[in-house]
């Protein structure tokens, strides 16, 4: 029996988070939510257009879904902090995904600036989900800075290359107590299942759903894969605990 | 000026010599790679790549979706003034052309800004001729200050400025710069710019780098095709971008491929970039630079613009006027060049949607 994932006091029974940045139209968001049962959607604040209701992406996100605005476009901590504050003022709530990028080809996150922004924003009451290159020391610093979860990348954004950083992510799963949400590079449902099987708490998928020929069906496929991966992980854990209980089969013989 | 220096070596590169060794195999090799070399780019813009246009188009489409998603940003150009001290042989605003010149007043800037805002635009590109006397940095600063209240992103396509001037304008809300070298061919450049400050090739070449050093976010460059050998200009544009990207990886670099258009004054372009070659060049840029933005101008006719939407375009103008003001006045002034796509913003939006793309009006959060 699984327990729900809790981030920032909110409970999530679906462990797939969905991005919206590359969708052909905001109109299909409700269908994606329905098909995937996702409970968290990320939106780039740079795209939120409150002055034109017909273009306002927020209008298409069901009210029971947690909104995760992101700081896409920020090149340093200062810009990320500014965007996060604007997101809150715009009514996007307290959740914020920090995305600080200083290199436009591979869109690698700037871990150092991300730690700085996490420190400031968590003290301002934000529920901070930082997007980082998986690095155990950085993740420990993020925990100290007040992060609510850590979002390590599997491979570069939009690359569909899967879990190229698998061993590094495994260290975070092993050592870090706050939720680990694998973000970026997940190009196929099997990648998502793989992340969940190894013990990630959730995954975030954007490009693979948004640019598919059928985003709604693809969202469902990812959701099923995430669920399957989660069940597999739980079974594996259960198995390990059974073996652990019978871990001294030789004790009677050798004592 | 590290990037400019690193680029200069390419001006002496024997492009035609390298082209002579391009064959079908070179094109296939270029198309099979993820990270392409300068020689691969040359293969893609060469005649040998012409039979591969469909393959290139598929690859370009895929790369664009992967890096930019299914979205096209719409922006509006606003001509603030047409005073110009240069005599560019190919331009409608040239000092040689006698016509009544205009400059928008504060109120007119406000009115044009409001008209564009009402049409939905949140990204604006401000243009002037080259006249530091009529449109000094003070004037640009004032215009940006007025417009930054309404627009999330303001870019300029004006005469080259000093780094400190870009910094000064950035504090008022400027975040983008478009600057065309026109042609990278030094001899042709000298010939088509007979007088005026624009004659200084190197100063113009350094402009994108001064913008990057000033902290501007979006910088778009390119050549005006038709002045010199198009393959040469495409190759040099690509190498210029390579150099700039290397030293300024945090800038969102962009490229545009404007083609000569009948302008006021008499100038027949020496070279023609045919539709087929134009599309091929655009695809080559997308494949060589998967993450660089590509802007499509209103110079292109509607059918061409529509076809190109999914192939690599990330930004386009719509409902544009290339005469001064033009959005808030009925008075007809002389345009800088003829617009081929006269469709309204709504019509362009409808076309983008029909292609399965999202027309985006806002893609930044203004600082001011």
Q: Helix %, strand %, coil % for chain B, to 5?
A: 45, 15, 40
In this predicted model, what pLDDT tens digit does every residue of B163-188 receive, in sequence order?
999 999 999 999 999 999 999 999 99
* Three-state SS at A74: strand
List all residues 6 or more positions away from B60 whose beta carbon is below 8 Å from its beta carbon.
Answer: B282, B283, B286, B287, B311, B312
CB count, 10 Å around CB of B185? 20
How many cross-chain Cβ pairs, A to B, lie less than 8 Å apart? Answer: 74
Using an 8 Å Cβ cutoff, are B291 and B272 in contact? Answer: no
Using an 8 Å Cβ cutoff, are B293 and B72 in contact? Answer: no
**Interchain CB distance below 8 Å, B69 and A22:** yes
CB count, 10 Å around CB of B150? 18
Shortest distance between the Cα of A25 and any Cα of chain B, in A, equals 5
Q: Where are the beta strands (DSSP E) in A89-171?
A: 95-98, 127-132, 151-152
Residue A122: per-residue pLDDT = 97
Residue A223: per-residue pLDDT = 96
Mean pLDDT score, B71-79? 93
List all residues 6 or more positions away from B205 whose beta carbon is below 8 Å from its beta carbon.
Answer: B4, B7, B181, B184, B240
Instruction: Indicate the residue of B358, B363, B364 with minimum beta-carbon distance to A25.
Output: B358
* Three-state SS at B283: helix
* Three-state SS at A205: strand
Sole residue written with tokens 């709530």: A93
Instruction: Indicate the residue of B249, B353, B362 with minimum beta-carbon distance to A105.
Output: B249
Q: Indicate whether B8 pLDDT > 90.
A: yes
Instruction: Indicate the residue of B69, B245, B363 with minimum beta-carbon distance to A207.
Output: B69
Residue A66: per-residue pLDDT = 94
In this predicted model, what pLDDT tens digit does every residue of B108-144 receive, in sequence order?
999 999 999 999 999 999 999 888 888 999 999 999 9
Which residues on chain B are in Cβ contact (under 8 Å) with A104?
Answer: 245, 249-253, 291
Residue B126: per-residue pLDDT = 96
**Interchain CB distance below 8 Å, A104 and B249:** yes
Which residue is closest to B364 within chain A, CA to CA?
Answer: A46
Q: Which residues of chain A fall short of a pLDDT of 70?
A: 244-255
Strand A127-132 and strand A95-98: pairing? parallel
In this predicted model, what pLDDT tens digit does every residue of A7-37 receive, in sequence order?
999 999 999 999 887 877 888 889 999 999 9
pTM of the model: 0.90
Distance CA B317, CA B121 (A): 10
Catalytic residue among A22, A97, A116, A188: A97
Residue B336: per-residue pLDDT = 66
**Interchain CB distance below 8 Å, B253 and A104:** yes
| Residue B363: C-alpha distances to residues A43, B76, B152, B270, B306 (Å) | 12, 14, 8, 38, 21
Which residues on chain A are in Cβ contact (under 8 Å) with B365?
Answer: 45-46, 73, 82-83, 86
* Three-state SS at B331: coil
**Tokens in use for B326?**
């033009």
**Interchain CB distance below 8 Å, A24 and B356:** yes
A97 is catalytic: yes
Residue B338: per-residue pLDDT = 67
Using an 8 Å Cβ cutoff, are B233 and B225 in contact? Answer: yes
Residue B330: per-residue pLDDT = 65
Which H or E run contains A81?
helix A77-89
Q: Indicate whether B94 pLDDT > 80.
A: no
Write b or e for each residue in B205-227: b if 16 or more Cβ atoms lie within 10 A of its Cβ, otherwise e: bbbbbbbbbbbbbbbbbbbbbbb
Residue B318: per-residue pLDDT = 85
Q: Pick the residue of B215, B294, B362 with the most A CBs within 10 A to test the interface with A by mutation.
A: B362
**Tokens in use for A104?**
């436009």
Which residue is closest to A102 within chain B, CA to CA?
Answer: B250
Residue A248: per-residue pLDDT = 66
Which H or E run contains B218?
strand B218-223
Q: Indicate whether B5 pLDDT > 80.
A: yes
Distance CA B212, CA B76 (A): 22
Residue A247: per-residue pLDDT = 62
**Interchain CB distance below 8 Å, B362 and A48:** yes
CATH architecture of B2-360: Alpha-Beta Barrel (3.20)
**Interchain CB distance below 8 Å, B245 and A105:** yes
Distance CA B346, CA B341 (A): 13
Is A72 an interface residue toward B (CB < 8 Å)? no
User: Is pLDDT larger for residue B250 or for residue B195?
Assistant: B250
Q: What angle do CA B245, B203, B321 make, to 5 degrees?
A: 80
Mean pLDDT score, B3-18? 96
Distance CA B19, CA A174 (A): 55
Distance CA B141, CA B158 (A): 12
Query: Mean pLDDT, chain B, as a whole number?
Result: 90
Residue B95: per-residue pLDDT = 72
* Three-state SS at A160: coil
Taking each helix axis from N to C end, the angle separating B137-147 and B163-172, rounded to the nearest 10 degrees, works out to: 20
Is A45 an interface residue toward B (CB < 8 Å)? yes
Distance CA A184, CA A144 (A): 24
| Residue B104: C-alpha distances to residues A236, B95, B112, B155 (Å) | 71, 19, 9, 17
**Tokens in use for B358?**
């999202």
Distance CA B229, CA A171 (A): 55
Distance CA B190, CA B148 (A): 37
In this predicted model, what pLDDT tens digit does every residue of B311-322 receive, in sequence order?
889 999 988 887
Distance CA B319, CA B322 (A): 10
Residue B265: per-residue pLDDT = 54
């Amino acid at each position: 029996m699984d327990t729900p994932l809790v981030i920032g006091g909110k409970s999530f029974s679906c462990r797939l988070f969905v991005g919206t940045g590359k969708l052909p139209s905001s109109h299909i968001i409700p269908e994606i939510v329905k098909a995937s049962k996702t409970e968290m959607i990320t939106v780039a604040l740079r795209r939120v257009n409150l002055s034109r209701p017909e273009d306002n992406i927020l209008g298409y996100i069901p009210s029971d879904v947690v909104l995760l605005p992101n700081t896409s476009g920020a090149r340093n901590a200062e810009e990320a902090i500014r965007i996060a504050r604007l997101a809150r003022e715009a009514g996007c709530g307290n959740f914020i995904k920090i995305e600080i990028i200083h290199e436009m080809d591979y869109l690698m996150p700037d871990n150092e600036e991300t730690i700085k922004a996490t420190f400031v924003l968590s003290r301002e009451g934000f529920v901070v989900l930082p997007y980082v290159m998986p690095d155990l020391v950085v993740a420990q610093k993020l925990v100290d800075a007040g992060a609510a979860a850590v979002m390590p990348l599997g491979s570069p954004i939009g690359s569909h290359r899967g879990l190229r950083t698998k061993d590094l992510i495994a260290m975070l799963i092993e050592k870090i107590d706050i939720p680990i949400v694998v973000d970026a590079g997940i190009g196929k449902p099997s990648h998502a299942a793989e992340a969940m099987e190894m013990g990630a708490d959730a995954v975030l998928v954007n490009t693979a759903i948004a640019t598919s020929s059928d985003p709604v069906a693809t969202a469902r496929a990812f959701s099923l894969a995430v669920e399957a991966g989660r069940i597999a992980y739980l079974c594996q854990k259960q198995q390990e605990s059974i073996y652990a209980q019978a871990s001294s089969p030789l004790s009677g013989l050798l004592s | 000026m590290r990037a400019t220096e690193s680029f200069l070596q390419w001006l002496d590169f024997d492009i035609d010599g390298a082209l002579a060794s391009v064959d079908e195999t070179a094109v296939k090799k270029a198309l099979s790679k993820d990270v392409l070399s300068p020689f691969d780019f040359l293969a893609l813009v060469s005649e040998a790549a012409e039979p591969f246009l469909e393959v290139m188009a598929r690859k370009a489409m895929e790369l664009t979706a992967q890096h930019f998603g299914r979205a096209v940003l719409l922006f509006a150009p606003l001509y603030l003034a047409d005073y110009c001290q240069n005599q560019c042989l190919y331009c409608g605003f040239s000092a040689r052309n006698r016509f009544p010149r205009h400059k928008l007043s504060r109120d007119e800037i406000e009115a044009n800004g409001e008209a564009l805002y009402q049409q939905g635009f949140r990204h604006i590109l401000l243009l002037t001729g080259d006249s530091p006397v009529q449109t000094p940095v003070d004037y640009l600063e004032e215009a940006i200050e007025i417009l930054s209240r309404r627009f999330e992103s303001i870019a300029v396509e004006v005469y080259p400025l000093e780094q400190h001037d870009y910094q000064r304008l950035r504090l008022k809300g400027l975040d983008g710069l478009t600057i065309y070298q026109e042609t990278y061919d030094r001899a042709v450049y000298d010939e088509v710019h007979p007088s005026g400050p624009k004659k200084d090739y190197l100063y113009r070449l350094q402009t994108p780098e001064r913008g990057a050093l000033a902290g501007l976010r979006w910088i778009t460059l390119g050549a005006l095709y038709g002045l010199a050998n198009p393959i040469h200009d495409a190759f040099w544009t690509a190498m210029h971008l390579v150099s700039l990207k290397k030293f300024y990886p945090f800038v969102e670099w962009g490229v545009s491929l404007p083609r000569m258009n009948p302008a006021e004054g008499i100038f027949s372009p020496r070279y023609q970039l045919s539709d087929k070659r134009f599309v091929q060049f655009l695809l080559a840029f997308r494949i060589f630079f998967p993450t660089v933005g590509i802007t499509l101008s209103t110079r292109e006719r509607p059918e061409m613009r529509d076809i190109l939407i999914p192939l690599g375009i990330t930004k386009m103008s719509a409902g544009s006027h290339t005469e001064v003001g033009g959005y808030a006045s009925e008075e007809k002034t002389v345009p800088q060049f003829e617009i081929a796509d006269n469709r309204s913003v709504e019509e362009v939006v409808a076309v983008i949607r029909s292609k399965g793309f999202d027309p985006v009006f806002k893609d930044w959060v203004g600082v001011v």
